Structure 1
Amino acid sequence: MKTLIGALALSLITSAAVAADMITYDTEDSFDDVVFGLENAILDAGLVIDSVSHTGAMLERTRVDMGSDVVLFNDADVFSFCSAQVSRKVMEADPMNIVFCPYDIFVMVRPDTPDVTTIGFRTYPEGAMKEVEALLDGIARSAVGLD
């Protein structure tokens, strides 16, 4: 219940869509523009993109083989990266925070809302990991021009 109340409060503060385990921002900007903005926001934060998972392309490529006719995304990528400074801080607080590294931000467009691009990331537990959540929030907001 405490998590739900916290998520609702965050929604009111940020005007973002907040689910129980993620924070998202919607924009009418194109997928490519949001991806470009995200890449720049990550680099501007002094970070390096470790990998980009082309999740939407993989799911579409394997859709028929999986016996499905459901198109989940028009586009969907997940960007993974880490911050040595923030990671050290949160892992010094609790070495088990390693489970959260690297950090991910997704960008997606769904077929039912083709003019809406969504960017988002998972929420993190109370304590030291909220600093990671704040880092990701700043990057996501910058990517869609909310900074």
Structure 2
Amino acid sequence: MKNLLIGMFMGLAASQVGAQEAVTYPFDGSFDDATFAVENAIIGKGLVIDYVSHTGDMLARTAEDVGSDKMLFEGADIFLFCSAQLSREVMEADPMNIAHCPYGIFVAALEGEVLVGHRTYPDGEMQKVQMLLDEIVQEAVGG
């Protein structure tokens, strides 16, 4: 799992990290600026952020409890949200697309770099969700 997380956040250019994992883009600025940009890009699409998972804080706080002394991220947050219209559309095509909801966009600071990204989704109707996430991420990173 640790190698998957590290692999997911590496790279300077927009890239797909293995099949069905993540798309990442570099952010030219601080972690805090990136989280602000992502939040604004999501809200700018008329979407409501349901929850922000402060994953980096949790991993730092629990490292000793699980027998680790390795710092994984300088910061890592995941913004979780849904689109009622798009979710209905993809779930009407296949109700099991519920497995992909809510949608998430992450911001991670790792080894002095800030990355913004999202997971990839299966072919078919879920590509509409992936396109929405990519639009939001590209807006946030200024692409």
Shorter chain as denominator, the TM-score bin is 0.7 to 0.9
Identity %: 56
TM-score computed with the length of structure 2 as normaliser: 0.88
2:56–2:76 CA contact under 8 A, matched in 1: yes
- CA distance in 2 between counterparts of 1:109 and 1:47 reads 25
- CA distance in 2 between counterparts of 1:28 and 1:134 reads 22
Cα RMSD for the two superposed structures: 0.9
Q: How does 1:1-147 map to 2 (within 5 A)?
A: 16-20=14-18, 21-110=21-110, 113-114=111-112, 116-146=113-143
Q: Which amino acid aligns with 1:118?
A: L
- CA distance in 2 between counterparts of 1:93 and 1:84 reads 14
| Secondary structure at 2:65 match in 1 | coil
* Rg larger in structure: 1
- CA distance in 2 between counterparts of 1:43 and 1:127 reads 26
2:55–2:77 CA contact under 8 A, matched in 1: yes
Q: Which amino acid aligns with 2:133?
A: L
Extract unaligned runs of 5+ from structure 1. 1-14
Deviation at 1:17, TM superposition (A): 1.6
- CA distance in 2 between counterparts of 1:137 and 1:57 reads 25
* Runs ≥4 residues deviating over 4 A: none
- CA distance in 2 between counterparts of 1:68 and 1:103 reads 30
| Secondary structure at 1:65 match in 2 | helix
Deviation at 1:50, TM superposition (A): 0.3
Deviation at 1:26, TM superposition (A): 0.9
2:28–2:141 CA contact under 8 A, matched in 1: no
Q: How many residues align?
A: 129
2:31–2:107 CA contact under 8 A, matched in 1: yes
Q: Which amino acid aligns with 1:87?
A: S
- CA distance in 2 between counterparts of 1:27 and 1:78 reads 15
